Amino acid sequence: MELEVVFLEDPACSWCWAFQPVETTFLFEWGEQLRWRMVMAGLRDHPVPDPSLIIRHWQTAAEVSGMPFEPDVWQAHILQSTFVACRAVKSVAVRSDEAARRLLRRIREAFYVEKKNIDDLEFLFSLAEELGLSSTDMIEQLSNGRADALFSSDREEGARYGFGFPTIVIRRPTMEEPKVLQGSVPYRDLLDGLYAMGVDHKSRKRFRGTDSDWRRLLEMQPRITMAELQMVTNMKTPAIEKCLRAMGVVREGPFYCLPLEVRQEQVLIPEEMLY
């Protein structure tokens, strides 16, 4: 088996959302040539005891990362469990890891920016339908035990590394010890970990500013933040916005995206997951 990069995460982990610029850059530069997986290891299955502490974490994560956070969600609803969202993601992963990644991203947008309740399964189904996914199939995978089996496997994998989120594990089957990065590490640390595990730095697909690069980035992340754009492109905000305007990209709150009708045409979801 080739080298594998594993991201141990949870939909409601603030530092996972803060880590998104690094993760997006990794997926752009390496996602097509390295095997990667996103593991829903599960943060908590009980209500948060002190929302004020979580709010302070969010504020710090926002300052460090530049990612958008709306902590007012905690005034409206105390999250009862993160496991509901984890299982929803795994119900899609039964069919497609890429579709699961897209749903995970959409759940995070809804939680951190739109102040939505993500421990409501019906709401999660509506997010999936928004992406063109079949909520009927999700219900089937949740009912027949396949989603639970995948989530249990993810939990076991997370337990080996202490349930710290995010945790990035870079490994080869021919090497005894994987490279483990814990926390919202800088992208340079992730690159160093890849190179230490024998990845050829020449295979890195850096953003060059071509039309095809812009298209690939916006197809991969249809709603993208400025913090992500800055890290992927290594450009300043004014130059980025000038390029985006020329492409017809619109601003939706903190997100930059192609018009909705274009995004809907772009979604690449396995046929069995569609309506």
pLDDT single digits (tens) 206-258 = 999 999 999 999 999 999 999 999 999 999 999 999 999 999 999 999 999 98
Asked whether residue 167 carries a pLDDT value surpassing 90, the answer given is: yes
Sole residue written with tokens 């926002």: 62
Question: How large a percentage of the chain has pLDDT more than 90?
Answer: 88
Length of the chain as a residue count: 275
Assigned token pair, 13: 């982990």
pTM of the model: 0.93
Does residue 87 contact residue 147 with C-beta atoms inside 8 Å? Answer: yes
Asked whether residue 267 carries a pLDDT value surpassing 80, the answer given is: no
Closest by Cα among 132, 133, 54, 44 to 88: 133
Asked whether residue 151 carries a pLDDT value surpassing 70, the answer given is: yes
Closest by Cα among 90, 211, 88, 224 to 158: 90
Question: How large is the average pLDDT for residues 85-99?
Answer: 97
Asked whether residue 261 carries a pLDDT value surpassing 70, the answer given is: no
Looking at every residue in the chain, the average pLDDT score rounds to 93
Q: How confident is the model at residue 274 (pLDDT cuts 50, 70, 90)?
A: very low
- For position 263, what pLDDT does the model report? 55
Q: Is 224 helix (H, G, I), strand (E, B) or coil?
A: strand
- For position 266, what pLDDT does the model report? 54
Asked whether residue 130 carries a pLDDT value surpassing 60, the answer given is: yes
Question: How large is the average pLDDT for residues 25-54?
Answer: 94
Is the N-terminal amide bond of 166 cis, ω within 30° of 0?
yes
- Among the residue ranges 5-19, 96-110, 227-241, 258-272, the one predicted with the least confidence is 258-272
Q: How confident is the model at residue 163 (pLDDT cuts 50, 70, 90)?
A: confident
| Residue ranges matching CATH 1.10.10 in the chain | 211-273
Helices 226-233 and 237-246 meet at what angle, rounded to 10?
100
The superfamily CATH assigns to domain 4-203 is Glutaredoxin (3.40.30.10)
* DSSP-assigned beta bridge partners for residue 35: 4
Assigned token pair, 259: 């018009």
Helices 121-130 and 135-143 meet at what angle, rounded to 10?
140
Q: Is 128 helix (H, G, I), strand (E, B) or coil?
A: helix
Q: How confident is the model at residue 275 (pLDDT cuts 50, 70, 90)?
A: very low
Asked whether residue 192 carries a pLDDT value surpassing 90, the answer given is: yes
- For position 265, what pLDDT does the model report? 59
- For position 190, what pLDDT does the model report? 98
CATH architecture, range 211-273: Orthogonal Bundle (1.10)
Taking the C-alpha atoms of residue 159 and residue 162, their distance in angstroms, rounded to an integer, is: 5
Asked whether residue 189 carries a pLDDT value surpassing 50, the answer given is: yes
* Contact partners, residue 232, CB within 8 Å, separation at least 6: 21, 24, 25, 28, 207, 217
The radius of gyration of the chain's CA atoms, rounded to the nearest angstrom, is 18
| Residue ranges matching CATH 3.40.30.10 in the chain | 4-203
Question: How large is the average pLDDT for residues 182-199?
Answer: 96
Asked whether residue 269 carries a pLDDT value surpassing 60, the answer given is: no
